[in-house]
């Protein structure tokens, strides 16, 4: 247990994100309110109005415009930020592709919330899962500390001159966004030095006018641009590991990096999770370990780019595993499951179940994780819905 | 460095007039200089004249600056003609020009 000093404070995930944008030196914020994200931009607006944060804040009439206006400010070379949730994310879908394709390292905090109908405001990853192919990197955090730290690490990763891609930084609705936890506030001066100056190499220059994203015929470098995006994105895995190391040294922290293996060293069975339910899963892993069961947990923090080699290394030697998807997408299996299985295809031959759990904010309880572990230990595979049936 | 979809291709190199099949022609004797056409043109192909001697409906309008159509960029969509409240713009077939 580390000493609690004056840099610790009790705050919600939303407050942690808002404060992190100030620490990271964000200079432009544009947003449209949506539950459960609203508290982030409210806090930022308040800091800007009270001159505690040196930035410009613009409220727009929609999420599509919010993303369009941060695209403009970022092109002008100004570090920019926005935040949204759920239907707001879907509404900006077109602009998400534009921002990524234009290689603009914007950060957006997302408080994960389900997609209607029926109307529901609780935790569920469907909003960002359906945007996983837009060219944005995606980080799913587990705690309010990570909500703060992923913003700081995120700007350094996104603005790296070999990456230049936007990042969505996720936290779960209410479980994190509206729940207070102790958070160590990173030192502002150190954060500024760590993140560095923002220098967009191709920013708008009125003395050298350029066309941005204009028409490109089939024999233009259209394919090459897409290839380069993919290359940059996947070089992000190693870059993220490097940046994590530097972050932990600078702030005396223990940020896990792209994935976190919990009691994985000698595990026979494991679950793979994203986000805040991982904490409950860890509790269950500890309990089962106490009963002599060799189980572990692999938490994916960096979901795009998918850290496939790291995942393969953790899974090698297991007798069975389960992947927990907290989203409703309509492929043959859940999204995370398909990413894991396609990564290990031809390399590892292990039975693997796909658990769909926690949709629309339904609790994923200790008994649910116990059931999941029991079912993988019995060798089950295929898609299994947990704590769901006729209600 | 990464590949970025930017290009040094100023619009002066990229005239789009050949896309046009019909051409808007302003009849200045009907034009009240309301500038509604200028506001509506989606290609920003309508500009404002400065001190040019043009016809006008009556003396009251003689001192006002008038719209002019930049035929290098006008794509001939006809929105200006449709929006003009005074029917001062005619769409004429390019083949007849
Ligand atoms: S809309 Fe018609 S009347 Fe008004 S300025 Fe244009 S051409 Fe003239
Ligand atoms: S025809 Fe269309 S493009 Fe041409 S001036 Fe009128 S509104 Fe503009």
- How confident is the model over A182-212, as pLDDT tens digits? 999 999 999 999 999 999 999 999 898 888 8
Q: Is residue B4 part of a domain?
A: no
DSSP-based helix, strand, coil % in chain A, nearest 5: 40, 20, 40
Q: Is residue B62 part of a domain?
A: yes
Distance (Å) from the C-alpha of residue B7 to the closest C-alpha of chain A?
5
Question: Is B86 a pocket residue for ligand 1 (Cβ < 6 Å)?
Answer: yes
Q: Is residue B59 part of a domain?
A: yes
| pLDDT for residue A269 | 98
Q: Is residue B68 part of a domain?
A: yes
Contacts of A333 by beta carbon, 8 Å cutoff, 6+ apart: A325, A341, A354, A383
Question: Is B64 a pocket residue for ligand 1 (Cβ < 6 Å)?
Answer: no
Low-confidence spans in chain A with pLDDT less than 70: 1-5, 390-391
CB A73 within 8 A of CB A66: no
Q: Which residues of A touch B7 (CB under 8 A)?
A: 210-211, 214
Q: Is residue B64 part of a domain?
A: yes
CA distance A108 to A95: 12
The top-level CATH class assigned to A8-251 is alpha beta
Q: Is residue B63 part of a domain?
A: yes
- Tell which atom from ligand 1 comes closest to the C-alpha of B67: 5
Identical fold for domains A8-251 and A259-385, yes or no, is yes
Largest CA distance in chain A: 70
Domain A259-385 has CATH 3.30.43.10: no
Question: What are the structural domain ranges in chain A?
Answer: 8-251, 259-385
| pLDDT for residue A3 | 54
Distance of CA B19 to the CA centre of its chain: 15
Per-residue confidence at B97, pLDDT binned at 50, 70, 90? confident
Task: Classify A84 as helix, strand or coil.
Answer: strand
Q: Is residue B18 part of a domain?
A: no
Q: Which residues of A touch B2 (CB under 8 A)?
A: 103, 161-164, 228-229, 232
Q: What is the CATH number of the domain that holds B34?
A: 3.30.70.20
Nearest to B5 among A162, A201, A212 (CB): A212
Nearest to A225 among B1, B5, B9 (CB): B5
- For A117, the token pair is 């109908």
CB A142 within 8 A of CB A179: no
Mutational test site, ligand 1, from B47, B86, B87, B90, max ligand atoms within 8 Å of CB: B86
Q: Which ligand is nearest to the CA of B72?
A: 2
Give the residue among A149, A125, A173 at the shortest CA–CA distance from A336.
Answer: A125
Interface residue of B4, B7, B12 to substitute, partner A, most A CBs within 10 Å: B4
Nearest to B7 among A102, A211, A224 (CB): A211
| pLDDT for residue B1 | 84
The verdict on ipTM greater than 0.90 is no
| pLDDT for residue B7 | 81
| A100 close to B (CB below 8 A) | no
Q: Is residue B61 part of a domain?
A: yes
Mean pLDDT of chain B: 93
| A209 close to B (CB below 8 A) | yes
Q: How far apart are the first and last CA of chain A?
A: 43
CA distance A15 to A11: 6
Contact B2 A161 (CB under 8 A): yes
Task: Tell me which residue range forms the domain holding B37.
Answer: 23-96
| pLDDT for residue B15 | 87
Question: How many distinct structural domains can be found in chain B?
Answer: 1
| pLDDT for residue A5 | 65
Question: Is B45 a pocket residue for ligand 2 (Cβ < 6 Å)?
Answer: yes
Q: How far is CA A68 from CA A99, A100, A102, A217, A311, in A?
A: 8, 12, 12, 24, 35
Q: At what angle do helices A38-49 and A13-23 cross, to 10 degrees?
A: 40
């Amino acid at each position: 247990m580390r000493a609690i000093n004056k840099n610790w404070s009790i705050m919600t995930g939303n407050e942690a994100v808002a404060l992190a944008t100030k620490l990271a030196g964000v200079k432009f914020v544009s947003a449209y309110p949506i539950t459960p994200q609203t508290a982030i931009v409210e806090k930022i607006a308040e800091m800007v109005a009270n001159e505690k944060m040196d930035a410009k804040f613009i409220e727009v009439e929609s999420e599509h415009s919010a993303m369009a206006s941060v695209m403009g400010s970022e092109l002008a070379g100004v570090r920019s930020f926005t935040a949204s949730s759920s239907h707001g994310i879907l509404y900006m879908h077109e602009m998400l592709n534009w921002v990524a394709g234009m290689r603009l390292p914007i950060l957006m905090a997302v408080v994960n919330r389900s997609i209607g109908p029926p109307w529901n405001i609780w935790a569920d990853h469907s909003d960002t899962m359906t945007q996983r192919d837009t060219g944005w990197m995606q980080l799913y955090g587990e705690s309010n500390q990570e909500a703060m730290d992923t913003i700081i690490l995120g700007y350094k990763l996104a603005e790296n001159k070999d990456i230049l891609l936007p990042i969505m930084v996720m936290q779960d609705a209410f479980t994190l966004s509206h729940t207070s936890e102790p958070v160590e506030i990173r030192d502002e001066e150190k954060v500024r030095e760590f993140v560095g100056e923002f220098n967009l190499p191709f920013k708008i220059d009125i003395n050298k006018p350029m066309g941005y994203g204009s028409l490109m015929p089939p024999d233009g470098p259209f394919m090459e641009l897409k290839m380069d995006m993919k290359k940059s994105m996947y070089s992000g895995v190693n870059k993220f590991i490097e940046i994590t190391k530097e972050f932990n040294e600078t702030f005396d922290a223990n940020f896990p990096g792209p994935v976190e293996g919990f009691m994985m060293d000698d595990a026979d069975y494991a679950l793979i999770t994203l986000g805040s339910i991982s904490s409950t899963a860890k509790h269950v892993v500890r309990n089962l370990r106490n009963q002599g069961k060799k189980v572990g947990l692999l938490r994916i923090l960096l979901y795009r780019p998918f850290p496939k080699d790291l995942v393969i290394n953790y899974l090698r030697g297991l007798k069975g595993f389960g992947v927990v998807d907290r989203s409703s997408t309509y492929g043959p299996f859940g999204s995370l499951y398909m990413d894991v299985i396609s990564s290990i295809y031809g390399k590892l031959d292990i039975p693997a179940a796909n658990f769909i759990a926690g949709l629309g904010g339904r609790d994923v309880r200790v008994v649910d994780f116990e059931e999941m572990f029991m079912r993988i230990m019995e060798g089950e595979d295929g898609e299994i819905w947990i704590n769901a049936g006729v209600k | 460095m990464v590949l970025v979809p930017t290009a040094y291709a100023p619009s002066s190199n990229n005239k789009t007039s050949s896309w046009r099949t019909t051409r808007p022609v302003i009849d200045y004797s009907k034009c009240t200089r309301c500038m509604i056409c200028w506001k509506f043109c989606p290609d920003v192909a309508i500009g404002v004249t400065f001190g040019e001697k043009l016809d006008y409906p009556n003396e009251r309008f003689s001192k006002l600056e008038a719209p002019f159509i930049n035929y290098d960029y006008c794509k001939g969509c006809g929105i200006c003609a449709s929006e003009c409240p005074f029917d001062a713009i005619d769409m004429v077939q390019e083949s007849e020009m």
